[in-house]
Amino acid sequence: MKIIKNMFALVLAVALVFSSIITVYAEDNTFGDYTYTVNEDGVSATITSYTGTDTDVVIPDEVGGYTVTAIGAKVFYNNSTIVSVTVPLAVATIEDNNFFSCSNLEEVKGVENLVTIGEHCFGYSKKLTNLPEMNCLESVGAYSFNNCESMTRFHIPKTTSSISYYSFIKNNIMLSMDDDNPYFTCIDGVVYNKNVSKVIKCSCPKTEYTFPDTVSTIGSHAFWYCKLEKINGGANVTTVESYAFAFCSSLESIESLSGLETVKDYAFEFAVTGALDLPKTLKNLSTYALSGCYMNRLIIHNNLSTIPSWSFSDCAYLTDLVIEEGVEKIGDKAFQGCNRLKKVQLPESLISVGSYAFACSLTEVYIPSGITSIGKYAFGYGYNRLNWTYPVKEGYRIFGHTGTAAQAYAESNNISFYDVDTLFSIDALGNSIRVSNPGGLRFGFRINEAILSIESFDNAELGFIYRYGNDASDLFLENVGANGVKKKIADNKTVSNGFSDFNLVFVNIPEQAYDSNVSVRAYAIVNGFVYYSEPITANARDIARAVCSDLEDNSDLKNKIKEIYKI
C-alpha cells in the first residue's frame, strides 16, 4: 500500500511540473499595443500580436524587461494600416505569415541581423520595397516573397544554406549572392548549386536565359512563374524536375534542350507557346508533364513507348498532333481537353488507348488494327472543363478494320464506323505523252469520290511515289529518300462526274531520256490511313509508238509525234 501511495505522489508531482511549464510559456503578456511570450531562456521574448493603429510602427527593443528576439506568426497579418515597420536589431526570427498581405506596407527596417524568414512572411505585400541586406540570414521560407511586386532585388549572404523552391515567385526581384557562399553559386540572377550542375532558382524578371554547359539538372520550381520568353543552350541537360518551368506562359520553345532524358510531373505545365518537337533522347515522361501547354503542334517520337496519363491534357491551342510509329500505349486522359485538336495520326504500333484519352475536339479518327484495348470515353466524346462532363460528339466517325477493337468500340458507343479496306481505292488510269516539243510523260490516277461522301476528303494528302527505272517493288512512303525512291505531293485534282483525277507529269524530257523507264504509284492519306494504287512503269518513246499505232486516220498528229520522239 505504501508503494502505491508513493507512486501516486510521483505522478501528481510530475503533472504539477508540466502544468506549471505550460502555464508559464503559453501565457501571453501585455506591453502597450503588444502581447508577448517569454522564451525558454527566460531573458528574451517573442511578440505574438499587435493591436495598435499606427502607420509607422516601431517595435520596442524590450517588453516587460525582456529583449525582443522574435516576431511570432501572423502578428501583422493582413494589416492594411501600417506603412513602415522598424524591427529591433536583436530580432533573429520573423515567423510564418507575419507581414502577409500588408497592402500598404512599403518599408521594413532593422532586419540586418535576421537569421530566419518564415513561410509566406512578406507574401502579397505588393508595395514593399527592398529590404536591407541581411548578413546573418540562414533560411528563407516558402512563398516568403510571393507577389512582392515592388521589390527589385534581394541579396543572399554567405550564411544562407536553405532557400525554398517557392521563396521568390510572381515578383520582380533580381537575386544576388556573396561569392563566398559555400552552398550556392549565383550567376546573373540565377542561383545554382555550388558546382553549377543544377539550377536552383531563376530571378523572376528574366526574359532570356542561357544555360552554362555544366548544368545537367533543372531543379524543382527553378523557373516557376518566370517571365521567360527564350532559353538558349542546355544540350547537356538530362533532367527537368517537377514544376521547373510551370506557368512560364511566354516561353516560346524548349528546342535547345536537345538531350533531355527525364521530364517529371508538371515540369512544363502551362508553358511553351510554339510548335513542340519532343527530343528523341526523351525516355521518361511523367504525368501532367506538359499539361496546359500553349503549343499548336506536337511531335512525339518513338523513344517514348508510353504516353503517360494526363501528360498533354488541356493543351487548348494544340491543333496538330503527330505520334510516331513505335509508340505502344496512350494513358488515361493524355489529350483530354485539347479542344482545338483537328487531327491525329495514330501509329500502327499502338496497342492500347486509355480512358478519356481523346476526350477533346476531334470529330473523326482512324484506329489501327493493332489496338486491342480502348478505354471508356477514349474517342467520340468532348470535355467540358467547367463542369467536368464528357458530352457525346454528334456525327463522330471512326475509321478502322472490320472485326477489330475499333469496330467493337464504335458499336458499343453508337458511333459511326467505316471499314477503310472497302471505303475507296485509287485506280491507275495509265499514261500519255505530251504532243509538243520537247516531249513529256503523264501518269494518271483516279479516285471514286462518290464513295468518299462521308469523308472530309479535302483534307486528305494526295501524291505520288516514283523512281527512275523498272523496279516498282518498294514504292511505299516509308522508303522515300532511300534507293532513289522519290515523293511528290499532287498539286491539284480534277473533279468530274463523281471522280477525282490527279496526274504526275514529267515535262521537257530530253531526247536522250525518251527510252528511260519511270515507275510510279499514287497514294492518299486519309484519317491517317494510307491507300496506294497499283504501280505503273513506262517510258515516253514506247507510249509514243503505241499512240501512233492508234492514229491511222490522223496522219498529221502521227507525223508530229514521230518527229518529237524520233520514232
**Residues near 95 by beta carbon (within 8 Å), at least 6 away in sequence:** 70, 71, 72, 73, 118, 121
What are the two backbone dihedrals, phi and then psi, of residue 422, each rounded to the nearest 5 degrees?
Answer: -120, 5
Q: Are strands 184-187 and 190-193 parallel, antiparallel or unpaired?
A: antiparallel
For cell 532511300, the residue is: 482
- Grid coordinates belonging to 225: 512563374
Q: How far apart are CA 418 and CA 131, in angstroms?
A: 69
Q: Is 162 helix (H, G, I), strand (E, B) or coil?
A: strand
Nearest Cα neighbor of 74 from 92, 100, 55, 52 is 100
Q: For 531, what's the count of Cα atoms within 13 Å in the CB-facing half-sphere? A: 24
Distance, in Å, from the CA atom of 151 to the CA atom of 55, rounded to the nearest integer, reads: 20
Exposed (0-12), middle (13-18) or buried (19+): which is 50, by Cβ within 10 Å? buried
β-bridge pairing 536-538 and 518-526:
antiparallel
Report helix angle 540-549 to 555-565, nearest 10.
Answer: 160
User: Which residue type does 313 have?
Assistant: S
Cα–Cα distance for residue pair 267/284, rounded to 1 Å: 12
- Cα–Cα distance for residue pair 328/371, rounded to 1 Å: 9
Is residue 383 within 8 Å of 392, Cβ to Cβ?
no
Residue closest to 55 by CA, chosen among 115, 125, 104: 104
Per-residue pLDDT of the chain (567 residues; tens, 9 = 90+): 334 434 334 433 434 333 333 333 447 899 999 999 999 999 999 999 999 999 999 999 999 999 999 999 999 999 999 999 999 999 999 999 999 999 999 999 999 999 999 999 999 999 999 999 999 999 999 999 999 999 999 999 999 999 887 899 889 999 999 999 999 999 999 999 999 999 999 999 999 999 999 999 999 999 999 999 999 999 999 999 999 999 999 999 999 999 999 999 999 999 999 999 999 999 999 999 999 999 999 999 999 999 999 999 999 999 999 999 999 999 999 999 999 998 888 999 999 999 999 999 999 998 999 999 999 999 999 999 889 899 999 999 998 999 999 999 999 999 999 888 777 789 999 999 988 888 899 999 998 765 554 445 556 789 999 999 999 999 999 999 999 999 999 988 887 777 889 999 999 888 899 999 999 999 988 766 788 999 999 999 999 999 998 887 778 889 999 999 998
Contact between 543 and 564 (Cβ < 8 Å)? no
- Residue type present at position 490: A
Q: Find out whether the peptide bond into 438 is cis, omega within 30 degrees of 0.
A: yes
318: number of Cβ within 10 Å? 26
Please report, in angstroms and rounded to a whole number, the separation of the first and last CA atoms in the chain.
135
Please count the other Cβ atoms lying within 10 Å of the Cβ belonging to residue 549.
Answer: 9
- Residues 154, 176 contacting (CB under 8 angstroms): yes
Residue 366's alpha-carbon distances to 48, 380, 399, in angstroms, are: 66, 12, 4
N residues, the chain: 567
User: Which residue has cell 520550381?
Assistant: 221
pLDDT at 69: 98
Which among 534, 558, 556, 554 has a CA at the least distance from the CA of 545? Answer: 558
Q: Cα torsion for 133, 137, 143, 148, to the nearest 10°?
A: -10
**Quick check: 47 and 69 in contact, CB under 8 A?**
no
**Among candidate residues 303, 325, 299, 328, the one with its CA nearest the CA of residue 312:** 299
> What is the rounded distance in angstroms from the CA atom of residue 485 to the CA atom of residue 466?
6
Distance between CA 240 and CA 288 in Å, rounded?
Answer: 13
**Residue 174 forms beta bridges with which residues?**
153
